[in-house]
Amino acid sequence: MNHTLRVPDATLYYEVRGRGPLLVLAGAPMGTRFLAPLAELLAADHTVLTTDPRGVGASVPDDPSADSTPQLRAADLAQLIAHLGIGPAAVFGTSGGAVTGLALAQAHPDAVHTLVAHEPPLTELLPDAAGQRAAVEDIIATYAAGDVPGAWMKFLVNANIPVDPSAAPPPPDAQQAADERFWFLHEMRGTTLWAPDLDALRTGGVRIVVGVGEDSTGQICDRTSAALAAGLGTDRAVFPGGHIAFVDDPATFAPRLRQVLTANMTAA
């Protein structure tokens, strides 16, 4: 079912599927359209909440020029979970959504009992954090100057994601173009510059599992997830595929996520 929730500075769009314990699937910048196939599979034994993060898709901030930060998105998730009234939740966060999930566990630990943080781009945890900040600023400036293909190429090269320069993606539709612009100009900086409080996460009572794709070796999110796991004193859980395997092959991804959740969930 499709719904909206009014929060103080935005209207949030969200979808609910299935019945059972609450499981939140959180992406950033990816929203409901990308998470829906995975949600359908997990709804067999969970109440699955997906949402468009503020500024993306149908979640509209009052000020469209305002930046999206992990803290704001975490507060949005906390309000959605409270609104449903069946929390605390298990949360699967991926990419920027994993950063959102960590901010949720840090600031709103009563809202979540288990977090699977899949490939969070926490570049502030890396030894070359200063260089990563400069790279992000260059990517954003390239996009702002109108060189969209150049910004994407710089992003992929910095992330060490293999790219075929001869394979041009299809042109985005109007919503995809708007979401892309918001991500480059209002979300990327705040997400990558966020630094978790590792002590608070270790002692906050939320069970945190750091996930990484088996095909992500050497990529920036392989490095950041390794740094996070080391900071938390845990091992990483390996998932099939790469950074967006939950989109590319949800039928393979879902059983592994269900397995990780089953092994690691604490009592709500």
The predicted model gives 149-156 an average pLDDT of: 94
* pLDDT-derived band at 172, boundaries 50, 70, 90: confident
- For residues 241 and 243, give the distance between their C-alpha atoms in angstroms, rounded to a whole number: 7
CATH of domain 2-127+194-264: 3.40.50.1820
Please state the pTM of the whole predicted model. 0.95
Domain boundaries, the chain: 2-127+194-264, 129-187
Q: What percent of the chain has pLDDT over 90?
A: 90
Query: What pLDDT score was predicted for residue 34?
Result: 96
- For residues 36 and 63, give the distance between their C-alpha atoms in angstroms, rounded to a whole number: 27
Which residues 6+ apart lie within 8 Å of 10 measured at CB?
54, 59, 60, 61, 62, 76
Q: Cβ atoms within 10 A of the Cβ of 85, count?
A: 7
- Listed residue (128, 94, 109, 124) closest to 190, CA to CA: 124
- Listed residue (103, 78, 12, 90) closest to 47, CA to CA: 90
Query: What pLDDT score was predicted for residue 268?
Result: 39
- For residues 79 and 86, give the distance between their C-alpha atoms in angstroms, rounded to a whole number: 12
Calculate helix-pair angle for 148-159, 129-144, nearest 10 degrees: 160
- pLDDT tens-place string over residues 183-225: 999 999 999 999 999 999 999 999 999 999 999 999 999 999 9
